[in-house]
Structure formats: C-alpha cells, structure tokens
Amino acid sequence: MENISLKASNTGYQIEIPATSDFEQSLTELKTMLKKVRGADKSTHDTEFSVKTGQRLLTSEQQVELEKVITAFDHFSMGTVVADVQTNEAAATALHDQKVYFVPQIIRSGQEVFFDGDVVLLGKVHQGAILEAAKNIYVVGNVDGAVLHAGYPDNNDAIITGDVRRAAQIRISNLVAIVADSPELGQQKFAYINDQHELAYAAMTDLEKQKPELYRQMEAQ
C-alpha cells in the first residue's frame, strides 16, 4: 500500500506514514492492515504500535484519529509517534542553544551590554563598560579596563578566553576576579569555574579535559 506500511518490531509493530501520503487514506488502509493482524493473532497479550511519520508532523487532531483507529482493536495500543522534523518549540530551543554573537563595535564607558548566547568580541570594550554574555566570551579584540561577565547571571559552565590582561575584572556566574591580581591570565589561557566552585585558569590545550562538552561542541563546528 502506498499510503502506509506496517513492519514487525521487537516490541510490537511499527507503522510508517510517508509525508507525501493522504492522511485519511492512510487511516483507511491502516484499518485494513490491523484487521489482518488481529485475525492472524488470536492471543490476548497487549501489542504496541509505534508510528514514524518521516518529514510530516502530525497535528494533535491527527494523532487522536490515529489512536482511535489503533485502539479500536482489543489489546492494541499506540506507542511513540516520531517525526524526522523538529517541532517549532524544539527548533527554537536548538537555535537558542547555538546563538553566537560577533561583536565588532566599540562598547563605551558607562555602557552595559548583554548578549543571550556566546560572544566573540572583535571590537573594543572601554574602561567603565560591562560586557555580559549568557554563555562564553571569546576575546579577539581589545579590553581596556572593562568588566567581562560570562555565564550571566548563573551559568557555571561558561568560560572566558583570549587576551584579558588589560581588563579590570572578569566574572563567571557569581564569581569575580580582579585581573591585576591574576597574572596567570594570558592569551593562551581560559577562565572557568572548577569543581570547588572557584575561578580557575588553564591552558587552552586543557580545554578537552576541563570542559569536555564545550570542547566537543567546538570540535563539531
């Protein structure tokens, strides 16, 4: 049948509804298939039917219709419904998680600028300015007496890296370090929060060890 297919699986059966099929016709063909399955299997054990819809997202009404067709037969139940496309909510979450802001402009004294994601600073942050990021801050440009705040307001997984030697302060989540008191900071270092909830510094070559998830994300890009 062109509008639907039915395959046996380890836990029951898998229904596949092609994205190009007519949904109502698919339901009609499914009823015919289920009658054959019920006729061939006289047992009273419960049988689950999972559903794959490919590049089609079923509406809530379509899922209700589909479940009615399946559960009309004794001991048949509908399992998971899986599509190869994201819901709008899942897509929005994924885009939010991937936000990277390239900042080429000058952030001047007295300004406080926030970015809801990663920040790659290409421009300059003047003394008395504050640059805040929900995630990581990568300094490529110049920081002159400014405050860099990664993981704002409470993301302990964030890092700050790049040449921050002329910054006034760096902050990650709720922790603060005076840069003048941290001579170990340099272009090949990154700042992070360690397991003791302290600001710590490590060479970029140690990123995989200290922040394996972040390292994998960067490697995949």
Q: What is the per-residue pLDDT for 12? A: 86
Q: What is the per-residue pLDDT for 90? A: 55
Tens of pLDDT along 131-172? 999 999 999 999 999 999 999 999 999 999 999 999 999 999
- Is residue 12 a part of any domain in this protein? yes
Q: What is the per-residue pLDDT for 184? A: 75
Q: For residues 80 and 21, state if they share a domain.
A: yes
Q: Which domain holds residue 31?
A: 5-85
Q: For residues 14 and 46, state if they share a domain.
A: yes
- Is residue 201 a part of any domain in this protein? yes
- Is residue 90 a part of any domain in this protein? no
Q: For residues 57 and 115, state if they share a domain.
A: no
Q: For residues 106 and 187, state if they share a domain.
A: yes
- The percent of residues above 90 in pLDDT, for the chain, comes to 58
Q: For residues 60 and 121, state if they share a domain.
A: no
Q: For residues 106 and 209, state if they share a domain.
A: yes
- Is residue 92 a part of any domain in this protein? no
Domain final residue, candidates 37, 62, 85: 85
Q: For residues 126 and 74, state if they share a domain.
A: no
- Is residue 197 a part of any domain in this protein? yes
Domain with 108 in it: what CATH number? 2.160.20.70
The 3-class SS string of the chain reads CCCCEEEECCCEEEEECCCCCCHHHHHHHHHHHHHHHHHHCCCCCCEEEEEECCCCCCCHHHHHHHHHHHHCCCCEEEEEEECCCCCHHHHHHHHHHCCEEEECCEECCCCEEEECCEEEECCEECCCCEEEECCCEEECCEECCCEEEECCCCCCCCCEEECCCCCCEEEECCEEEEHHHCCCCCCCEEEEECCCCCEEEEEHHHHHHHCHHHHHHHHHC
Q: What is the per-residue pLDDT for 95? A: 47
Q: For residues 133 and 185, state if they share a domain.
A: yes
Tens of pLDDT along 33-68? 999 998 887 777 889 999 999 878 788 889 999 999
Q: Considering its fold, how many domains does the chain have in total?
A: 2
| Order of all β-strands in the sheet with 112-115 | 112-115, 130-133, 147-150, 169-172, 175-178
Q: What is the mean pLDDT of residues 22-27?
A: 91
Q: For residues 115 and 203, state if they share a domain.
A: yes
Q: For residues 78 and 185, state if they share a domain.
A: no
**pTM more than 0.85:** no
